[in-house]
Structure 1
Amino acid sequence: MSIWQRAVVLACAGVVAVTGSLTVGGSVAAAPSDGSSREVSRVLSVSPTTPTRSTVTVYSAAMERPVRVSVLLPRDREKPRPTLYLLDGIDGGIYTNYTQSGWTFQTDIVKFMADKPVNVVMPIGGMAAYYTDWQKPDPVLGRNKWETFLTKELPPLIDKRFNGNGRNVIGGLSMGALGAMSIAVRHPDLYRGVAAFSGCLDQGAPEYRQATAASVSTRGGNPDNMWGPVGHSTWDDHNPAAHVDALKGKPVYVAVGNGLPDPSLGIAGLASPVGGVLEGVVLQCTQSFKRRADAAGVKVTYDFRSGLHSWGYWNEDLHRAWPTIARGLGVPR
């Protein structure tokens, strides 16, 4: 086992059992007996917690179950506005029993975005799913069709319910960074920009694929059910670095730490003992992505900073990425 694989396994060692073949993120789907879905995607409920924050439950026809989504709204909602989609890390909301995204639980995003003319949408759930469409349902992680959800089902529902103008940017951290970047290169007409924090954005090398597969295994999933065996061509199809030319002309922000803590963040800058090792290898993967982006002539705003694989740094990343994100959304910085 490589140092990268060991780091992933150790960092993800807090495995949480999820039982039931289609029980994911606190929702249970009753799939039709013939394996098809006869229902349409729709908003099931909107539960406001404050005037600018709601939990929305959406029925996903692709995943055949309800999915919770956190939505932040600006104070001024008279005009149509763009939408920022932010994806979570590997546990996808488990620390709040799937009541909110890690973004709202671990960062100051609610306060930071309150004065910005933007909808912010954060899916809850998707543990170890990499926000992609899996080839097969998984006995533990269930039926995952997140790419379909985030590109075909959710955006029109959000725009209709929350006065969206059809302009979108997608971002994420760790697992969500790879998911966001993969979706961005595969759907360049839908997402006008992308931000990725501490994600392995080049899945070309065997050791990076094996590490991604290992992270799925730590949550009880079978990685072969995602994109097939690590040597399968489907991995190439979802590798952002292999399709980086799709990002030409778009605002793109990529941040990654060097594996060393930043003392200026204090307690917020700490992580698990392997947080430095994990971030150090993600740095290698990011450098590989940069080489391929540079060769393709794709301009990216990089932040090669100090830091570990932890929320304190991703909170800072969001603040620093905002000017790039704002360009993609077409709003003031």
Structure 2
Amino acid sequence: MSRITGRLTVAVLAAAATLGLGGPPARADTPAAPGVTVPDLKTDDGSFIQSVGVTDDRHVTFTVYSAAMKQTFPVAVLRPEDTSEPRPTLYLLNGAGGGVDSATWQLRTDALDFLSDKNINVVQIIGGAFSWYTDWLQPDRELGVNKWSTYLGKELPPLMAAALGSNGANAIAGISMAGLPVLNSVIFNPGLFRSAAVYSGFFQTTTPLGRESIKMVTELYGGGKVENMWGPEGGPLWVANDPTLNAEKLRGTNLFISTGNGIPGAFDVPGARGRMEAPADTAKTVALGSFIEANVELSTVILQKRLESLHIPATFEFRSSGTHIWGYWQDDLKTSWPVLAQGLFPPP
């Protein structure tokens, strides 16, 4: 979870996470930044880029129509410094708020500054709050239609590749709620993502801890029903979406996983980097973040042991302190860069 501030209302989600409902919107012809086009392309299911808004030659925002969800979503992109040749692409996911609140990489970290000289496209996913970025069985009264596995793995990548003229090398990274779908995006789409990084994620859906973590995000904070997501607990979709059980399919991917241990550290004092609450609320927010991160560490240890049993190499960073907050994730992203770069810039 990237922020525990209570449940977003349906109206806020609808306004901020989507740009229109119903059938495909009319396509707009919008001037693009250098090296960016609005391709005359539809995916197999009918998804397409409606338009692109240009902030400057480095920052553009696409409006993408998802046929699976019958909605349009904004996709914010940081372009490479040098666009003279095709470049790789990093897909960057936020946490429980889905990037529609103020708990985002862009607002809470210097991630985009850090990545700005790496000569990559940085595709920031916006939408999917409390959904675990997965394909739901049926629409939910509070959270609507969610087909995020399809969007992340089948709809968006070919559209971004065409619009950005990328070279086909992709990586994916995310925090907290995004940990599960980051690994599942690798598992469900063999060969699409060469590297994957997760900072403070959960990695099991079939353990008591995993099930309760999923329910806490979706039901307590999102107001949705997990039965609408994967059916009854313990059913086949819960098993299919457990990356620890299905870890064999992670083989060949450059993996980086980091976690704190719940012990308060440098960023767990009022006003520290990445803190979002009022200073008077820091103590209780740290207590909750400590509880969450201690459970994150347990989940990470389970994944580590599973990968070791399968002889699948991965880089694990077990920090000596830290709760569930952005200050640590900013540092973790930088620590993970060599692993991400192995897939984005493979040796010849």
Please say whether Structure 1 and Structure 2 have the same fold, judged by a TM-score greater than 0.5.
yes
User: Aligned equivalents of 2:185 and 2:10: distance in 1?
Assistant: 26
2:40 counterpart residue number: none
Q: Which structure has the highest strand share of the two?
A: 1
1:330 matches 2:345: yes
In the TM superposition, residue 208 of structure 1 has moved relative to its aligned partner by 1.3
In the TM superposition, residue 229 of structure 1 has moved relative to its aligned partner by 1.9
1:314 counterpart residue number: 329
Amino acid in structure 1 at the alignment position of 2:344: L
2:308 corresponds to which of 275, 294, 300: 294
Amino acid in structure 1 at the alignment position of 2:151: F
2:8 counterpart residue number: 16
In the TM superposition, residue 21 of structure 1 has moved relative to its aligned partner by 10
1:173 counterpart residue number: 175
In the TM superposition, residue 244 of structure 1 has moved relative to its aligned partner by 1.0
2:105 counterpart residue number: 103
1:59 matches 2:65: yes
User: Aligned equivalents of 1:246 and 1:24: distance in 2?
Assistant: 34
1:247 counterpart residue number: 250
1:262-303 superposed Cα distances (whole Å, 9 cap, x missing partner): 227861265623111110111111111111111111111000
Give the secondary structure class of the aligned counterpart of 1:44. strand
In the TM superposition, residue 28 of structure 1 has moved relative to its aligned partner by 3.2
Gaps of 5+ in 2: 25-43, 276-281
1:197-217 superposed Cα distances (whole Å, 9 cap, x missing partner): 111112231231122122101
User: Aligned equivalents of 2:46 and 2:6: distance in 1?
Assistant: 36
In the TM superposition, residue 181 of structure 1 has moved relative to its aligned partner by 1.0
8 Å contact kept, 1:21–1:140: no
2:41 counterpart residue number: none
Give the secondary structure class of the aligned counterpart of 1:276. helix
1:277 corresponds to which of 291, 314, 336: 291
The change in CA–CA distance for 1:215 and 1:264 in structure 2 (over 3 A counts) is closer
1:268 counterpart residue number: 273
8 Å contact kept, 1:47–1:55: yes
User: Aligned equivalents of 1:287 and 1:219: distance in 2?
Assistant: 27
Amino acid in structure 2 at the alignment position of 1:45: S
2:191 counterpart residue number: 189
User: Aligned equivalents of 2:268 and 2:5: distance in 1?
Assistant: 25
Q: Please report the TM-score for the alignment, with normalisation by the length of structure 2.
A: 0.84
1:150 counterpart residue number: 152
Amino acid in structure 1 at the alignment position of 2:68: A
User: Aligned equivalents of 1:23 and 1:138: distance in 2?
Assistant: 17
The runs of at least 4 aligned residues of structure 1 exceeding 3 Å deviation read 19-24
In the TM superposition, residue 75 of structure 1 has moved relative to its aligned partner by 1.0
1:71 counterpart residue number: 77
Correspondence list, 1:21-60, <5 A = 25-30=17-22, 40-60=46-66
Count of matched residue pairs: 314
In the TM superposition, residue 231 of structure 1 has moved relative to its aligned partner by 1.3
Amino acid in structure 1 at the alignment position of 2:10: V
User: Aligned equivalents of 1:234 and 1:174: distance in 2?
Assistant: 21
Q: Please report the TM-score for the alignment, with normalisation by the length of structure 1.
A: 0.88
8 Å contact kept, 1:84–1:170: yes
1:211 counterpart residue number: 213
Amino acid in structure 1 at the alignment position of 2:164: F
Gaps of 5+ in 1: 1-7, 33-37
1:35 counterpart residue number: none
1:114-155 superposed Cα distances (whole Å, 9 cap, x missing partner): 111211101111101111111111111111111111111111
Give the secondary structure class of the aligned counterpart of 2:342. helix
Amino acid in structure 2 at the alignment position of 1:299: P
2:200 counterpart residue number: 198
1:216-252 superposed Cα distances (whole Å, 9 cap, x missing partner): 0121111111111221121110111011111223210
1:89 corresponds to which of 85, 95, 98: 95
Q: % of aligned pairs identical?
A: 38
8 Å contact kept, 2:136–2:229: yes
8 Å contact kept, 1:19–1:140: no
Supply the RMSD in Å over aligned alpha carbons. 2.3
User: Aligned equivalents of 2:333 and 2:235: distance in 1?
Assistant: 34
